[in-house]
Structure 1
Amino acid sequence: MAQEIEALTPYARSLGITVESWEDGIPILSVPFEETVEGRPEHYHGGATGGLLETAGYAALRAELGRQSRAAMLKPINITVQYLAAGKSRTSYALGRVTKLGRRSANITVEAWQDDRTRPVATAVMNVLVASPEG
């Protein structure tokens, strides 16, 4: 399971996203503040924050599918991001939670934070099609 999650997408790797740790079988992802994620000076670009949230959501879903020994192709239905505070020039973290997993779709919530987990800088709600790998 961990090997599947750690094989992050090329986009996630280009941002510097890594698996920081695991909590209750769900990966906590992190991304350091570097030039690749900077928007305005000393702040995260909104797209980089959105990329972290999306990656954490898919990682949580893959972890849950792995626990259930389910193979699936994941296709986004929609992703809604709420930017709550500006991400500053330090490491950001994100954790996704699968709130519902059915036969054909999944609902996921994700939170991103920096210094204080109780004060998220952004959240997301994701709806994902869970398609059979055979088509």
Structure 2
Amino acid sequence: MPFDFPYADVIGARRNNATGEPILTIGWRHEVEGRPGFVHGGVIGGLLEMACYEALDHEFGRDEQKPRLKPINISIDYLRGGVMTDTHAVAHIVRIGKRVANASAVCWQDDRSRPIATARMHILLDR
């Protein structure tokens, strides 16, 4: 199933639901390179944002009354440089209210316990 956002195609994001979690993965390509040998910070930020949307989509499932999702804000903490390897991100929903959802996301490469970036995002639920 294709993503609802074109940026996913630009960075080559793909779904990886092998563990039951909505994990997104991008492989190394020159299009995602920032400084030589490292993933661009904007790509990492975009991957974290898409992971938050993916977690909400996973939460709502096939609900016919699924709201449109609109970003309110996102805060990203870059912890270390992402090198030339597969990069993964997953988000967890902290809270879903009537109008706003809160999500927390983590991005890693070889070792999930050593994240390269984390994010917190607030999303407007347009019902």
Q: TM-score, normalised by structure 1?
A: 0.88
Q: What CA distance in whole angstroms lies between the structure 2 residues aligned with 1:8 and 1:130? A: 16
Deviations 1:16-49 (A, max 9, x none): 000022434x311000111111000010100000
Q: 1:19 to 1:81 in 2, by over 3 A?
A: same
| 1:9 corresponds to which of 5, 11, 28 | 5
Aligned to 1:114: 109
**Letter paired with 1:100:** R
Instruction: Give the stretch that moved more between structures: 69-78 or 81-90.
Output: 69-78
Aligned AA for 1:98? I
Spell out the pairing of 1:5-84 with structure 2 (5 A cutoff): 6-24=2-20, 26-66=21-61, 70-84=65-79
Q: CA separation in 1, counterparts of 2:61 and 2:91?
A: 15
Counterpart secondary structure, 1:23: coil
Name the CA shift for 1:67/1:100 in 2 (closer, same or farther; >3 Å): farther
1:47-91 alpha-carbon deviations (Å, 9 max, x no partner): 000011001110001111126554111111100000000000001
Between the aligned partners of 1:127 and 1:95, the Cα distance in structure 2 is 16
Structure 1: gaps spanning 5 or more residues? none
- Take 1:30 and 1:8, find their aligned partners in 2: how far apart are those partners? 16
Runs of 4+ in 1 over 4 A off after TM superposition: none
C-alpha distance in structure 2 between counterparts of 1:70 and 1:117, whole Å: 34
- Corresponding residue number in structure 2 for 1:105: 100
Q: Tell me the alpha carbon deviations over residues 93-123 of structure 1, each in whole angstroms, 9 at most, x when there is no partner.
A: 0001001011111000000000000000000
* Gap runs ≥5 in structure 2: none
Give the count of matched residue pairs. 127
Partners of 2:71 and 2:64 in 1: CA distance: 21
